[in-house]
Amino acid sequence: MTGPPALDPGDERDGHVIARSLEHPELFARLYDRYAPDIHRYAARRLGDHAADDVTADTFLTAFLTAFRVRARYDASRASARPWLYGIAAHLIGKQRRKEVRGLRALARTGQDPVAAGWVEDTADLVADRAPLADALAALSAADRHVLLLVAWADLTYQEVAEALGIPVGTVRSRLNRARRKVRAALGADPAFLGEVAEVVQP
């Protein structure tokens, strides 16, 4: 049994892997190996581990089917498929926004929620400390929450968020500024507490 066809070193870029995978579908597994752990971790922070399994699997299935459908127009020179994949994952997470908001509200109300296990260390004090943040995130619009968490939790640049969500960079900036302003206002002005959630509210 032979493995996937070899790629030239220059063809290891994501765009070339995708282009070649249209003739050799097994090559698409390389993108899965590269990005699935990150996509799963991001989805788990937003929806919990169980839902993250489905989101991750559906992200890569959707990516492959989309690439196949638009193969004549796919830009093989694209250096990284990461923003594209996060955009698909964000869309899938958006379909479960009610579940996400319910989880955040439950954490804010009770200090306990299974989803929080994905982004809070397993101590009662830290879970309680993050309850105001959960409440603040739940209060954001879905569009603002997507932008904020793609920057804060997926480490995407503004340009990558724009690519992921199919919106202008200026819209990314305005949504991010609005989301951070609302979160800061909800958390209050305690510098010590803001330090605990700096990855979300830092400029």
Q: In percent, how much of the chain has pLDDT > 90?
A: 35
Q: How many CB atoms lie within 10 A of CB 131?
A: 20
The correct CATH number of 11-111 out of 3.20.20.140, 3.60.130.10, 1.10.1740.10, 2.120.10.30 is 1.10.1740.10
What does the pLDDT look like over 168-187, one tens digit per residue? 999 999 999 999 999 888 88
Block mean pLDDT (10 aa), the chain, length 203: 50 79 85 94 86 92 83 66 93 84 73 53 48 83 93 93 95 94 79 49 56
What was the pLDDT predicted at 25? 84
CA distance 173 to 25: 37
Domain limits, the chain: 11-111, 130-190
Burial class (CB in 10 A: 0-12, 13-18, 19+), 9: exposed
User: 130-190 has which fold?
Assistant: Arc Repressor Mutant, subunit A (1.10.10)
CA angle 59, 64, 67 (to 5 degrees): 120
What was the pLDDT predicted at 72? 54
